[in-house]
Amino acid sequence: MDNRPIGVFDSGLGGLTAVRQLEAVLPHERIVYFGDTGRVPYGTRGEDVIRRYAAQDCLFLEQQDAKIIVAACGTVSSVANADLRARAVPTIDVVEPTAKAAVAATHNNRIGIIGTAATVRSGSYAGVITALRPETQVFGQACSMLVPLVENGWIGEDDEIARLAVARYLQPLKEQQIDTLILGCTHFPLLTAHIRAFLGDEVTLISAGQEAARACAKLLAGTDALCDPAQDGGTVFYVSDLSQNFAEVSRSFLGREATDIRLVDIHSL
């Protein structure tokens, strides 16, 4: 039994989709979330910068006494995976559990991946998928403009800009006749309605945040590190920049308004 909190970080608010899943499957666990809203997005940065940001994010959560860290960021999971695994605190990335779920879901061995430019360029998902099932064809599509759309709340089912952007990005994958699509950025579940409308219900969508939450719960249970079930759960939110629309956008990710929001100077770490 371990009553220390679970640490979760992302380049912005997308990781809140992982927090939502963790709160659902592990309601008694305490969670500390850090969103690097002052430096979002990570996906357009160089590899050295992404690795430095990831190290600072992990260090902050380690200072909060996190017993495990969930890197709820496809870019960090893809680019800094080796760094994450080398840390003293156990770390869950989104790539491996999500890739495994996609392999289990596909029937025609044609899997699509959408993520940031850094995620797609790294080939991280394709590497895990083809190692598990070599005959699988993997098609990646960088969708960097979708992140600011979500961060700015342009996600409504009647939002024409979101509809057009999703269609523009996903058309090449649709032409490849994929039957499974990895939402390789934790922002993208907020665009599920637009993605389903364009691809159709026959394409299975795999959420990176959801799979990471499941992997975290499995690891904690397997190592006897779940908290006392009598403990009251709850989430504390830290950000590196508190934007005016934080509460509104966070409500879309969490299904409720985030409270107990604190500002942290990540540059000091």
**Range(s) within the chain of domains with CATH label 3.40.50.1860:** 6-93+210-268, 95-208
Which residues sit opposite 8 in a β-bridge?
A: 33, 70
Instruction: Name the catalytic one among 58, 185, 216, 227.
Output: 185
Average pLDDT of the segment spanning 92-96? 95
Please tell me the distance from the alpha carbon of residue 217 to that of residue 224, in angstroms, as a whole number: 11
Look up 216 and say whether it is catalytic: no
Look up 227 and say whether it is catalytic: no
Which residues sit opposite 113 in a β-bridge?
A: 140, 182
Name the CA radius of gyration of the chain, rounded.
17
pLDDT exceeds 80 at position 255: yes
Instruction: Name the catalytic one among 73, 143, 216, 227.
Output: 73
Query: Would you place residue 253 in the very low, low, confident or very high pLDDT band (cuts 50, 70, 90)?
Result: confident
Q: Output the average pLDDT for the chain.
A: 93
pTM, to two decimals: 0.91
Average pLDDT of the segment spanning 214-220? 97
pLDDT exceeds 70 at position 245: no
- Fold type of domain 6-93+210-268: Rossmann fold (3.40.50)
Packing angle of the helix pair 192-199, 160-175 (nearest 10 deg): 50
Average pLDDT of the segment spanning 188-196? 95
pLDDT exceeds 80 at position 209: yes
Would you mind telling me the total number of residues written for the chain in this entry?
269
Please tell me the distance from the alpha carbon of residue 211 to that of residue 218, in angstroms, as a whole number: 11
Architecture of domain 95-208 in CATH?
3-Layer(aba) Sandwich (3.40)
pLDDT, tens digit, 9 for 90 and up, residues 165-184: 999 999 999 999 999 999 99
